[in-house]
Structure 1
Amino acid sequence: MTDATMEIRMQVMWNRLISVVEEQAMTLLRTAFSTSVREAGDLSAGVFDPMGRMLAQAVTGTPGHVNTMAEAVLHFITEIGRDNMFPGDTYVTNDPWKGTGHLHDITMVSPSFKGDRLVGFFACTAHVVDVGGRGFGADGKSVYEEGIQIPIMKFAERGEVNGTLVTLLRSNVREPNQVVGDFYSLAACNEVGHRRLIDMMDEIGLTSLDDLGAFIFSRTEAAMQERIRALPQGAWDNALDTDGYDEPVRLAARVEIDGLRVNVDFGGSAPVSRWGINVPIIYTKAYASYALKCVVAPDIPNNWASLEAFTISSPENILNAPRPAPVSVRHVIGHLVPDLVLGALAKALPGKVLAEGAAALWNIHMSVRPVAGQAGRRAEILMFNSGGMGARPELDGLSATAFPSGVMTMPIEATEQTGPIIVWRKELRPDSGGDGEFRGGLGQVIEIEPMPGHEFDFSAMFDRVNHPAKGRDGGGAGASGSVALDDGTKLKPKGWQHVPQGRRLVLHLPGGGGYGDPARRSDAARQDDLSKGYVTEGRK
């Protein structure tokens, strides 16, 4: 076989491997019980070699799940032990420091055997609607208050599900059917990946993935090194202020490029918070690496070799919070990490990096119940919402788009089916995008009311209320967000709060920053904004 033929053969097998993990992820999307998974795609799926190095990931999935999972599999291998792994096994954890950063994400890893030979691992992650404790919110003072903790352990051994674990789950969560259903969906996801991999290997005549893995990693490493060598060499700093919980929180980063690697250090960031907005370093690494890859190598596949090109360091602080710090809403600060890192890269690569955006998802978790003395039903409802992206150097920002998480919008109809609420309004928010040669993306306006005879408590997990997204290169800031009742009562951007019967919760989601001098925006673009209602007449 010639070198050219071998190259083509390996590339075809690489593509086949990606199709395997895509089917793996689609299984989870189709079978999941939680709307956050089946509607929003808050999940990840991937295949790993026997050493725990990620070979390929599904396109469906968030960086916070995919890139943490790439490290988490190594923890599973260490703690389970190779001698204790058997065909039909599935392992599970929601350990924030060995998984994806908080208890609501369940990570499952399954060994893939061809005969009696371990050929790899499949892993997947999904957010479940409840893990007990205080519920999904920033009010906890330690991880012990935030829900049930599942150490790395076996969900199934040789195909036999751990009934004791299932019983413990049912006794500790508010929505046992949804949560346990999602556990089985995660296990099924890995099983489908395993079957498709073995089918592929039988068809092609492979006994292991060693040669394919070496091909994937060598090509990826060479491509990454070429991109990094072409970057400016040096170090650049950036700082960003966020709302925090009850006082502002400063994040700081230094990006250093040395020719072979890119390192990001988060020294200078605020200390560990007493509230559940802290971020374990595994999650900080995930989003810092994602930000770097967006600029350095967006077209190079994401795998072990591409992630190895980036190193992340930090002293103990809010972006490297040790156990048992509260971390339930680690995504809020974590989703601001890309804006922080991109701000430093913008100094190294002027004219190449988008403006700041809403960044953090405006997730809302509602605990709905009947008003005392009235009939009705209880429900736990999780709703994902997005503000606007920052404008890009040559394009307007995307509106109501989840960057950097990449999750999809949850249809109102699907959300309303999960519990007794009405979403009266969900529309783009005019004038929320920062002005500039290229306009920032718009946020949204959302109004939610409990059904008659019901009330709800909700967990606010919002940012950019007091610190809106900044524009870049002369662009204006995006509009800040706000949280209130329909009678004008102002509410806090974080923490559990109450919406009584007959009142509506009104959310104004933040917009993205603009890019470039507003005086350079074309008349045609401004007229288009007016005609579509993105900007109102007389806006300055």
Structure 2
Amino acid sequence: MSDIGEIRMQVMWNRLISVVEEQALTLLRTAFSTSVRESGDLSAGVFSPRGEMLAQAVTGTPGHVNTMAEAVLQFMNEIPREEMYEGDTYVTNDPWQGTGHLHDITMVSPSFLNGELVAFFACTAHVVDVGGRGFGADGKSVYEEGIQIPIMKFAEKGVVNRDLVKILRCNVREPNQVVGDFYSLAACNEVGHRRLVGMMREIGLTSLDGLGAFIFSRTHNAMLERIKALPKGTWSNELVTDGYDDPVKLAAAVSVHDDHLNVDFSGSAPMSRWGINVPIIYTKAYACYALKCVVAPDIPNNAASLAFFTVSSPTNILNAARPAPVSLRHVIGHMVPDLVLGAMAQALPGKIQAEGAAALWNIHISARPAAGGAGRRAEVLMFNSGGMGARPELDGLSATAFPSGVHTMPIEATEHTGPIVIWRKELRPGSGGDGEFRGGLGQVLEIGALDGHEFDFSAMFDRVKHPAKGRNGGKDGQAGVVKLDDGTLMRPKGWQHVPAGRRLILELPGGGGYGDPAKRSAEARAQDRSRGYVTEDGK
């Protein structure tokens, strides 16, 4: 290929990325749920007619993007090519064919140019409710966790499936928000399709085959070069999380070969009877993300780069079989990167960050008037983040959602959705593990209902009994705490009640420190004190 040809291909590649960015922005700007609109809990991407991910939007979580990369193939297996038409949109929330739990809606739309299938667009978003027991770990099977939507058509030839919409409205607590998000997802793919077709007509392309070959060949060669430079061998790691009733052990063995990396999760705990199990599609998504952060963070994430990572596991909590309850698959799934990075730290000493809070501290609040009172009912979902682990040369980031990457919801947006008040939201001093580089801080939140209201909440928290570990001599981060304002301790998982007049206090965990604390500079310690990052005793 000539230099001019390569430049032209690179320009088209950049145009393709701008297409999926606009696709994602459409979802952000039209979504009804605050988890999408305010936190960016979504993904968007464009795929070849063979179901290979060509490009993804920067906005989006690894759990959505990397599962979506496999989900498109599931749609293609279920819906024959001869039954795909212009104006179609397909949908599912199947945890084993989508993103791991029922609250995520995945939509796929074929894109046609002059009657020929040239691409697929896919997007995913978390909706506020899917019925059942609500967003929580209390279900004993997936059948209790909400409505299940098999892979089917949301729209055919531009005509929406009204029967599906009616069924949705009868099965969820917030029908307007949920149905609104379905239309937002469909619009997201439609915008992607329009921009792609416009680009192809402008450039004179009749297919994306040549551009796809360019993208995949460049990505493949760059990934292979990085992998060849890695030390070869197998390294193992174990990590213990809180679980529901009992601690859960996670185990991983990372094997680095000449042309690929494999993660084996043998030795992890068996499936739980509670909704913290993880379908393998979600486990793989975060395992691949962790490996890519180490091997090639700057190389584009597409089918060619993901092909270098494989995952194996017997049936266990990280490879849960249907119909296991999986509503909180993210709590355990978000621990997978720390688990994998712990193994890679043995292969690449001095280059891997300490453990962090990992799992989001999501809370689903079901608010209502107190007995005999009048007022407003609402379902409120909040995303909150603890601290990241310290890095080999930098302190950990505070109140940052790693590995999910979602944004923290603004207080104003959260309070607008229901009769609750966020009385306090601040960094938690001393929660980051000490070290040459300090772990990131968690947060403190104080949540109450408006006068005359009470609420139930679904706790989805971890690192309460097993804090983030430091690395290379760094100290552990502080564990999380869940309590009422009168000191009553609450459970870290499961539905619980907060009476009228009481407030719920969440103290989020901090990240582990990195390196010997004795090596932390006097300047850094003075800065910790001046910024209020440490308590009065300096910890």
TM-score by length of 2: 1.00
Contact 2:30 2:184 in 1 (8 A): yes
Letter in 1 for 2:270: P
3-state secondary structure, aligned to 1:534: coil
Cα displacement (A) at 1:226: 0.4
Cα displacement (A) at 1:538: 1.7
- Measured against aligned partners, the alpha-carbon deviations of 1:345-371 in whole angstroms (never above 9, x if no partner) come to 000000110000000000000011111
Task: Tell me, in whole angstroms, the C-alpha distance in 2 between the residues paired with 1:450 and 1:115.
Answer: 56
Does 2:494 match 1:504?
no
Task: Tell me, in whole angstroms, the C-alpha distance in 1 between the residues paired with 2:537 and 2:149.
Answer: 56
Letter in 2 for 1:348: A
Letter in 2 for 1:72: A
| Equivalent position of 2:442 in the other structure | 443
- Measured against aligned partners, the alpha-carbon deviations of 1:269-320 in whole angstroms (never above 9, x if no partner) come to 0000000000000000000000000000000000000000000110000000
| Equivalent position of 2:84 in the other structure | 85
Cα displacement (A) at 1:115: 1.6
Contact 2:271 2:315 in 1 (8 A): yes
Cα displacement (A) at 1:537: 2.7
1:21-420 superposed matches below 5 A: 21-420=20-419
Task: Tell me, in whole angstroms, the C-alpha distance in 2 between the residues paired with 1:319 and 1:537.
Answer: 41
| Equivalent position of 2:451 in the other structure | 452
Cα displacement (A) at 1:24: 0.1
Cα displacement (A) at 1:195: 0.1
3-state secondary structure, aligned to 1:516: coil
3-state secondary structure, aligned to 2:140: coil
Letter in 1 for 2:380: I
Cα displacement (A) at 1:409: 1.1
- Measured against aligned partners, the alpha-carbon deviations of 1:75-130 in whole angstroms (never above 9, x if no partner) come to 00110111100000000000000000000000000000002100010000000000
Cα displacement (A) at 1:466: 0.2
Letter in 1 for 2:407: M
- Hey, which bits of structure 1, 4+ residues long, moved more than 3 A? none
Letter in 2 for 1:158: K
- Measured against aligned partners, the alpha-carbon deviations of 1:41-90 in whole angstroms (never above 9, x if no partner) come to 00000000000000000000000000000000000011011110000000
Cα displacement (A) at 1:382: 0.3
Task: Tell me, in whole angstroms, the C-alpha distance in 1 between the residues paired with 2:20 and 2:464.
Answer: 38
3-state secondary structure, aligned to 2:181: helix
3-state secondary structure, aligned to 1:45: strand
Gaps of 5+ in 1: none
Task: Tell me, in whole angstroms, the C-alpha distance in 2 between the residues paired with 1:81 and 1:237.
Answer: 42
Task: Tell me, in whole angstroms, the C-alpha distance in 2 between the residues paired with 1:11 and 1:198.
Answer: 18
Taking every aligned residue pair, what percent have the same amino acid on both sides? 80
Task: Tell me, in whole angstroms, the C-alpha distance in 2 between the residues paired with 1:260 and 1:212.
Answer: 24
3-state secondary structure, aligned to 2:500: coil
Task: Tell me, in whole angstroms, the C-alpha distance in 1 between the residues paired with 2:214 and 2:313.
Answer: 33
- Measured against aligned partners, the alpha-carbon deviations of 1:438-477 in whole angstroms (never above 9, x if no partner) come to 0000000000001111111100000000000000000000
TM-score by length of 1: 0.99
Gaps of 5+ in 2: none
Contact 2:131 2:146 in 1 (8 A): yes
Letter in 1 for 2:289: Y
3-state secondary structure, aligned to 1:498: strand
- Measured against aligned partners, the alpha-carbon deviations of 1:488-529 in whole angstroms (never above 9, x if no partner) come to 110000000000100000000000000000000000000000
Contact 2:365 2:458 in 1 (8 A): yes
Task: Tell me, in whole angstroms, the C-alpha distance in 2 between the residues paired with 1:344 and 1:265.
Answer: 11
- Measured against aligned partners, the alpha-carbon deviations of 1:390-441 in whole angstroms (never above 9, x if no partner) come to 0000000000000000000100000000000000000000000000000000
Task: Tell me, in whole angstroms, the C-alpha distance in 1 between the residues paired with 2:106 and 2:339.
Answer: 27
Does 2:493 match 1:494?
yes
Cα displacement (A) at 1:536: 2.1
Aligned-residue CA RMSD (Å): 0.5
- Measured against aligned partners, the alpha-carbon deviations of 1:326-345 in whole angstroms (never above 9, x if no partner) come to 00000000000000000000
Task: Tell me, in whole angstroms, the C-alpha distance in 2 between the residues paired with 1:378 and 1:75.
Answer: 38
| Equivalent position of 2:464 in the other structure | 465
Letter in 1 for 2:362: N
Contact 2:529 2:538 in 1 (8 A): no
Letter in 2 for 1:306: S
Task: Tell me, in whole angstroms, the C-alpha distance in 2 between the residues paired with 1:167 and 1:482.
Answer: 41
Letter in 2 for 1:221: H
Letter in 2 for 1:536: T
Contact 2:434 2:512 in 1 (8 A): yes
Cα displacement (A) at 1:176: 0.1
Task: Tell me, in whole angstroms, the C-alpha distance in 2 between the residues paired with 1:132 and 1:409.
Answer: 24
3-state secondary structure, aligned to 1:55: strand
Task: Tell me, in whole angstroms, the C-alpha distance in 2 between the residues paired with 1:264 and 1:232.
Answer: 15
Contact 2:227 2:260 in 1 (8 A): yes
Task: Tell me, in whole angstroms, the C-alpha distance in 1 between the residues paired with 2:257 and 2:297.
Answer: 20
Cα displacement (A) at 1:377: 1.1
Letter in 2 for 1:142: S
3-state secondary structure, aligned to 1:8: helix
Letter in 1 for 2:16: L
- Measured against aligned partners, the alpha-carbon deviations of 1:123-169 in whole angstroms (never above 9, x if no partner) come to 00000000000000000000000000000000000000000000000
Task: Tell me, in whole angstroms, the C-alpha distance in 2 between the residues paired with 1:503 and 1:115.
Answer: 62
3-state secondary structure, aligned to 1:121: strand
3-state secondary structure, aligned to 1:475: coil
3-state secondary structure, aligned to 1:68: helix
3-state secondary structure, aligned to 2:119: strand
Task: Tell me, in whole angstroms, the C-alpha distance in 1 between the residues paired with 2:477 and 2:11.
Answer: 45
Cα displacement (A) at 1:372: 1.7
Task: Tell me, in whole angstroms, the C-alpha distance in 1 between the residues paired with 2:420 and 2:535.
Answer: 31
Cα displacement (A) at 1:539: 3.0
3-state secondary structure, aligned to 2:494: strand
Task: Tell me, in whole angstroms, the C-alpha distance in 2 between the residues paired with 1:5 and 1:60.
Answer: 31
Does 2:423 match 1:428?
no
- Measured against aligned partners, the alpha-carbon deviations of 1:216-263 in whole angstroms (never above 9, x if no partner) come to 001101100000000000000000000000000000000000110000
Task: Tell me, in whole angstroms, the C-alpha distance in 1 between the residues paired with 2:482 and 2:408.
Answer: 20
